[in-house]
Amino acid sequence: MDSNNRVAIELEVNNEAMQSLQDSFCKANNLYLMCVGKSQGQLTTFSGTKPEENFVDYNFTAELRREIIDSFVDGNVENVIERYGTEEYLLYRGVAIRGGAGECIGVWLCFGVDKEKLPIGIQLPEEIRLTTADSFDKSISLIENLTKHYFAEKIKAQALKLKLSDEKQAEIEIESRLKKNEIMTEILRDMESEDSFADIANNILGAAGRYLECTNTALLQINPDGVDADMICEWVVKGREALSPKFKQVPVISLPFMNGKPYTISSDAVLPELFEVFFIKHEIKAGIFLPINVNDSAAMYLCFISRGQERKWSVEDLRFANDIKRILHSVLLKKITANSLASSYSALEAILQNAGYGVVVADLDTKDLLYKNETFSRMFDNEIDRLAIEEIIFDKRYTLSEINGYSANGSGKWFDISIAAIEWVDGREVRLLTFYDTTELRLYQKKVEKQAQEDVLTGLYNRQACEKDISLEFHVAKKLNKEFAVLMLDLDDFASVNEGLGYQIGDDLLEYIAHSINDISYINGKCYRVGGDEFAVIVDHANFKNLDMIIKRIMTLFDNPWTLNGQEYYCTVSMGCVKGPGDLEDSSAILTRLNIALHGAKNRGKNRFEFYDANSDAIVAEKVKLEQALRRAVEDGCKEFEVYYQPIMEFVNSIPTCCGAEALIRWNSLEYGLVLPDQFIPQAEKLKLINTIGQHVLEEATRSCKHWNDFGHPEYKVNVNLSVVQLTQVDFIDKLDEVLKETGINPNNLTLEVTESLAINDMDRMVAILEGIRSRGCRVALDDFGTGYSSLNYIRTMPLDTIKIDRAFVSDMNSDHFSELFVKTISELADSLDVDVCVEGVEFDKQIDMIGKFSVNLAQGFFFDKPLSKDDFESKYL
Ligand code: C2E
Ligand code: CA
Ligand code: CA
């Protein structure tokens, strides 16, 4: 290269035109440019204000500028270089300004601020130009083109000078031109060929590869998913290894040149890391990678590759490569348009082939199957089915347009078939049949039908199925003159399991219980879930002799706690039993009788079973009436409910002295007169009325106590009974706070009585609730201790102030040694835990003597007083 030429061009760069190009370009494109000569340093002055210049100088450091300038190497035709700074929102590029032989004579340093990536709260000089990554890229391509255009004339002139000045160079040039012409003629011939695109491309790649003296030339295509690419054509110079086996389904991200831009990379180029990795991996020394666009996006990449041998691409090489790219592009376009018509029929066929339904075209006269798709063949791959369906296909009697529910015997599949007459391509009348496989739909319908008879939670049959089966058994037994029985089970206090432990545990427990019952011998399959916590069992005539055993087995199931996930849950059952057919005319009365028997069992104390008794009919009717009245009483503002007070005595120097009272509710019903709590509290819990009733008692009792405290008895306390349903309300503590605030009672004078029912199943929850109560300063008493599942552990774990020993122990104390021992043990334990003990149901003085021996400090019972109305209590104890 003649150094004079270079100098000439270098000097010409530094002119006003460059400055004005820079000024207007920066303004129009919202970025910053600086023109730097490769050896002369800065050639233009900054376009912009002083604050902008300071900002750019500060962020576009001298090192970064140097790095960009240095990465442009003579002969490397790569024109744009991207660099990254420390901030994502700052964009850096270098665009080469090249001389005629591809030598770099200067660089545009480009800087942009991406407004979409600006961190929140960042302060920028007011005048700073903001762009986006996308428009920045577009501006860079523009400056690249402008620069090329600007120098094109100069480069041409220079090239000519070079050629003229160097005879040898000119000779080579002519030789290569001739060679190029030859190759081009060959390529153009290929272009016109009717061969497939792949064949044509292969020929062209070969010719171009030979001309450029590459080792490999290839076309890579991005797959429709946009994720992978395949090498679809490749030419390899003799004796070299093909790359295509390695380029199958390669992720696009591992191919750094696949970003829509052209790359020309000579062996001496300083490469970005991604390219470096890619080149080393495939032993590529140099390459030209050119995108071929279809519909504005790169569909293919044309690659000229030099493997294993160094290569510097010349401008001439690049021009040739670009020509090849243009040729391939036009071949591709031509094939695409030609194909779109020619392939429309095959596309249609492809669609039909893969359609979800079977399609057949039949000529009824010739009995020819003119067309059938894949799906049809798969549907009728069974020999029996195929023969049968062919009968239908060609049967002229089928004039209906649809056959719904055709059943193929061979495969057991079901089909809906639609039939239409159409005109075939050659004009003859043919029949088009479409087959829809409806097997799954039918199975689904069957499942839905079954589900209507099935309980989703337990998988048992439901009430509907139960009624059907009872009716069936009734008729069979009657005809055979045999007996059968139906059992109805209702879990005791299941509402409190659901309320207390949550519906998930409730459901799990139900499922567990359901399966345990169903697994009992002779029951299998005849167990039904007929209500929330109600089950029925049919003991049919064949098993009737086992009735007693079945009943016994069910009851013993409930003797022990249920273990779920390692936790023990307590739940008992009440059961009613009806035998049939007996005097019954039809089966419809069986369920009613079962309900009556069941209620009988519940009324007589739960956890038991009872046969239907005609006399109990009336009881049930009565119960329904009572429930209605109860609902009315609550809706009526609880006016019918009255709180009675039974004094609680404290032994002061062995002398029983009143220290307060337990609030006990009474219902003065218009219809029933005085109703005691045992007769309506369970129903109130079941009907969810207990929360309102309980709140009413709590308010009343607290108000009364506050009155006693204010009128001479500041030490009097009041005890209020709480149902577990009440206790587990989410807003219970809020309600308590409200009452405390409204009445102004000293919280220490309010004792809440709870039973251990919640603690049995969820001690943690119980403890949390009780601690909430005590954190308000109120006291907690454990009621009815000794009944149910009492365990000494509860006393230790529950935060308690008082233990109330159930009256059963007190009444038995004289006759039963165990009762005496029980009271003694509890009182001693309570003493050590610093908890008060109250004995309930003290009726005789003898009992007081017994209690006197133990450390019991509180007592309650008819011996001292019955529950009294508020007035009576106050006139006696105030
Ligand atoms: P409880 O909490 O064990 O109340 C003591 C029961 O024993 C009261 O029956 C009381 O009248 C009775 N009693 C007291 N001393 C004696 C005696 O010496 N001998 C005999 N045989 N009985 C005695 P009552 O008032 O019929 O209440 C029954 C149950 O109803 C209560 O048992 C309590 O569990 C519940 N209850 C009462 N009021 C309420 C209330 O406001 N809310 C809730 N959730 N339950 C209540
Ligand atoms: Ca009580
Ligand atoms: Ca009690």
Protein residue whose Cα sits closest to atom 11 of ligand 1: 867
Residue nearest atom 4 in ligand 1 by C-alpha distance = 664
Q: In this structure, which residue's CA is closest to atom 17 in ligand 1?
A: 841
pLDDT above 70 as % of the chain: 87
* 752 Cα to the center of ligand 2, angstroms: 9
Looking at all shown ligands, the one closest to residue 866's CA atom is: 1
**Above 80 in pLDDT, residue 630?**
yes
Please name the residue whose Cα sits nearest to atom 27 of ligand 1.
677
> What letter represents residue 685's amino acid?
E
Q: How far is CA 601 from the centre of its chain?
A: 46
Ligand 1 atom closest to 867 (CA): 11
For ligand 1, the distance from its centroid to the CA atom of residue 664, given in whole angstroms, is 6
CA 796 / ligand 2 centre spacing (Å)? 20
- pLDDT tens digits for range 467-504: 889 998 998 898 889 999 999 999 988 877 877 778 88
Amino acid at 187: I
What is the rounded CA–CA span in Å between residue 266 and residue 286? 5
3-state secondary structure of 100: coil
Which residues sit with their C-beta closer than 6 Å to ligand 1?
646, 664-665, 676-678, 681, 694, 697, 721-723, 783-784, 807, 840-843, 860-862, 867
Pocket test for ligand 1, best of 640, 641, 664 (most atoms within 8 A of CB): 664
**Which ligand is the nearest neighbour of the Cα of 697?**
1
- If pLDDT is split at 50, 70 and 90, which confidence band does 701 have? very high
pLDDT exceeds cutoff 70 at 174: no
Closest-approaching ligand to the CA atom of 646: 1
Question: Is the pLDDT assigned to residue 46 strictly greater than 50?
Answer: yes
pLDDT in tens, 709-755: 999 999 999 999 999 999 989 899 999 999 999 999 999 999 999 99
Report how far ligand 2's centroid is from the alpha carbon of 816 (Å).
24
Q: Please, which pLDDT band fits residue 347 given cuts at 50, 70 and 90?
A: very low
What average pLDDT does range 678-702 have in this prediction?
A: 93
For 745, what's the count of Cα atoms within 13 Å in the CB-facing half-sphere? 32
Q: What is the pLDDT of residue 121?
A: 85
pLDDT digits over 559-584, tens only? 888 887 778 888 889 999 999 888 88
- What pLDDT does residue 437 have? 83
Integer angstrom CA distances of residue 198 from 190, 241, 290: 11, 20, 18
Per-residue pLDDT at 160 = 53
pLDDT at position 341: 39
Higher pLDDT, 71 or 860: 860
Q: What's the token pair of residue 446?
A: 């069957």
Angle, CA of 394, 396 and 402, to the nearest 5°? 85
Count of positions (residues) in the chain: 878
Is the CB of residue 345 less than 8 Å from the CB of residue 300? Answer: no
How far apart are the CA of 798 and the centre of ligand 1, in A? 22
Q: Separation of 829 CA from ligand 3 center, angstroms?
A: 19
Alpha helices in 728-844 (DSSP H): 732-743, 757-761, 763-775, 792-797, 807-812, 817-833
Residue having the nearest C-alpha atom to atom 13 of ligand 1: 841
**How many angstroms separate the alpha carbon of residue 722 from the centre of ligand 1?**
12
Which residue has a Cα nearest atom 22 of ligand 1? 841
> What are the tens digits of pLDDT across the range 634-657?
999 999 999 999 999 999 888 999
Q: Which residues lie at CB < 5 A from ion ligand 2?
A: 721, 753, 783
Ligand 1 atom closest to residue 644's alpha carbon, by position in its atom list: 25
456-464 average pLDDT score: 86
In 670-728, DSSP assigns E strands to 673-675, 717-721
Ligand 1: residue of 643, 667, 721 to mutate (most ligand atoms within 8 A of CB) is 721
Nearest CA to ligand 1 atom 46: 721
Of 77-86, 632-641, 801-810, the range with the highest mean pLDDT is 632-641
Task: Return the pLDDT at 746.
Answer: 97
pLDDT above 90 covers what percent of the chain?
36
Distance (angstroms) between ligand 1 centre and the Cα of 860 equals 11
Q: What digits encode the pLDDT tens for the residues 540-551?
A: 999 999 999 999
The best mutation among 840, 843, 858, 873 to test binding of ligand 1, ranked by most ligand atoms within 8 Å of the C-beta, falls on: 840
With a cut of 60, say whether residue 869 has pLDDT above it: yes
Q: What mean pLDDT comes out for the span 601-620?
A: 77
Report pTM: 0.44
Q: What type of residue sits at position 658?
A: C
Residue nearest to atom 25 of ligand 1 (CA): 664
pLDDT mean over 822-829: 85
Q: Is the pLDDT of residue 235 over 90?
A: yes
pLDDT at 787: 73
Q: Residue 453 is which amino acid?
A: Q
The CA distance from 318 to 324, in Å, is 10
Task: Dump pLDDT digits (tens) for 242-257.
Answer: 999 999 999 998 899 9
- Whose CA is closest to atom 35 on ligand 1? 677
Q: Which ligand is nearest to the CA of 804?
A: 3
* pLDDT at 126 (0 to 100): 83
How far, in Å, is the centroid of ligand 2 from the Cα of 803? 11
pLDDT for residue 270 is more than 90: no
Nearest-CA residue for atom 19 of ligand 1: 841
Mean of pLDDT over the chain: 84
Report which bound ligand comes closest to the CA of 786.
Answer: 3
Residue with CA closest to ligand 1 atom 10: 867
End-to-end Cα separation, the chain, in angstroms: 125
CA of 804 to the centre of ligand 2 (A): 8
pLDDT tens digits for range 417-456: 878 787 765 667 888 888 888 787 777 667 766 677 788 8
How many angstroms does the Cα of residue 867 sit away from the middle of ligand 1? 9
Higher confidence at residue 262 or residue 808? 262
Place of tokens 């069910």: 554
- The CA 573 to ligand 3 mean position distance, Å, reads 23
Distance from the CA of 797 to the center of ligand 3, in angstroms? 20
Quick one: pLDDT band at residue 14, thresholds 50, 70, 90? very low
pLDDT of residue 753: 97
> Ligand 3: distance of its center to the CA of 662 in Å?
10
Whether the bond between 581 and the residue before it is cis, its omega within 30 degrees of 0, is: yes
* Euclidean distance between CA atoms 684 and 454, whole angstroms: 31
Q: Which protein residue has the closest C-alpha to ligand 1 atom 20?
A: 841
